[in-house]
Structure 1
Amino acid sequence: MRIYGVVGWKNAGKTGLMERLVTEITGRGYSVSTIKHAHHSFDVDQPGRDSYRHRVAGAREVLLASGNRWALMHELRDEEEPSLQTLLGRLSPVDLVLVEGYKRDAHPKVEAHRAETKNPLIAPGDDSVRAIASDVPLESDRPVFGLDDTGAIADFILAEVGLGHA
């Protein structure tokens, strides 16, 4: 499975870049799935809903289905958080999986960077970061793209995973 990541510190523009990349790459005819790592507790379900009540009652997995979509919620209970590789194995086949977060994993990545956050770059200490998307010009030994230059970033990623031409 082809996988490419978007990493960066909080408020660096990761989610916006992911959204634009999904739109750009699917617009070119490729199928894309995404995985987003959350560093905090999150809940996609709402108190009072039947599915929420099932989970609170102790169900390990709750699958919601309708004519438009289905969603599987898996409660870890006392299990460890699954690895990225385990989660990738749960996805249906697609041309490309874009991953937001998981900056410590070894898959290739582009780093989103906004100068106003005053955070250091991840790239200098991480060879898996293959390019940087920044809102300011930067000196780097890796390609640097404008944070909003979605077409060029998509070209780079697609070429890196063997789906496009650089």
Structure 2
Amino acid sequence: MRAVALVGWKKSGKTTLAVALAQELSRRGLRVGAVKHSHHGLDVSGTDTARLAEVCRAVAGVSPGQSAAWWGTARSPHDLMPLLGAQVLLVEGGKEWGWLPRILVAPGQGEDPAALVTGRELGVFGPAPVAGLAATQDVAVVADWVLERGFVLAGLDCGGCGKASCAELAQAIVVGQAQPQDCVAQSSAVRVRCGDRDLALGPFVERLVRATVQGLLSELKGYVPGLPVRIEME
């Protein structure tokens, strides 16, 4: 999946860019999903959903034209991504999520966008230049950046790649010193699949799963160490 976070100060134009970018990518024949991060909560006060959410762990709504799900607690975007069915993911906000590259939205007024630079920026959108970063006011150019250089890491901060955090690996990827495949949690030789999604395994969990499964299989007739093993559960 190609993914990118659109970050900027409040009222910098993140939503405007997200909509325009989704339109551009959709015109190119891609399925686009979006996640909006908010520090202020998601307001459904006064609705039937709010009444149900007071007593239910989660609420889902289905109508002829759309469907929605509502959880009463925060969920990781990694939990939500499989539900989106997208080829490209646009995250509006999420400054603290170090497992994504970023597009910095710089409207040319308000707070200094340079204060948000982390080293994970693919470029800047808007009239306010930021030293050392490519800049454009063309949404089509931003779409090219996303498709050519967008990525998503596991977000486990497991250290299996040799970096201290996913943010550090993301910085190395952005400057060409690493690749998304270096995220060992997403390229493990042990593959655990839930539905149509491969689950990210940190090195410790991978070793635990491998040792546990191999230990159990060693008691079965016909098991040959070294041959691939496939286990399915419903």
* TM-score between the two structures when normalised by the length of structure 1: 0.81
Determine if the alignment matches structure 1 residue 12 to structure 2 residue 12: yes
**Among 66, 69, 72, the residue aligned to 2:66:** 69
Bigger RCO of structures 1 and 2 (CA < 8 A, at least 6 apart): 1
Residue correspondences, number: 150
Q: How far off its partner does 1:46 sit? A: 4.5
Q: Which amino acid aligns with 2:6?
A: V
**Among 102, 117, 133, the residue aligned to 1:142:** 133
Determine if the alignment matches structure 1 residue 30 to structure 2 residue 23: no
Residues 1:151 and 1:113: Cα distance change in structure 2 (over 3 Å): same
Unaligned runs of 5+ in 2: 152-234
Match of 2:148 in 1: 159
Instruction: Write 1 or 2 for the structure with the bigger share of strand.
Output: 1
Q: How far off its partner does 1:94 sit? A: 1.7
Unaligned runs of 5+ in 1: none
Q: How far off its partner does 1:123 sit? A: 5.2
Contact 1:60/1:74 (8 A) holds in 2? yes
* TM-score between the two structures when normalised by the length of structure 2: 0.59
Q: Distance in 1 between matches of 2:14 and 2:134?
A: 17
Instruction: Write 1 or 2 for the structure with the bigger share of helix.
Output: 2
Residues 1:14 and 1:92: Cα distance change in structure 2 (over 3 Å): closer
Show structure 1 runs of 4+ deviating over 4 A.
Answer: none
Q: Distance in 2 between matches of 1:16 and 1:133?
A: 11
Contact 2:9/2:111 (8 A) holds in 1? no
Residues 1:105 and 1:53: Cα distance change in structure 2 (over 3 Å): closer
Q: Deviations over 1:89-113 (max 9, x none)?
A: x533321111011112221111001
Contact 1:14/1:100 (8 A) holds in 2? yes
Match of 1:83 in 2: 76
Q: Distance in 2 between matches of 1:75 and 1:3?
A: 26
Q: Which amino acid aligns with 1:32?
A: V
SS in 2 for 1:115: coil
Q: CA RMSD in A?
A: 2.0
**Among 105, 119, 142, the residue aligned to 1:127:** 119
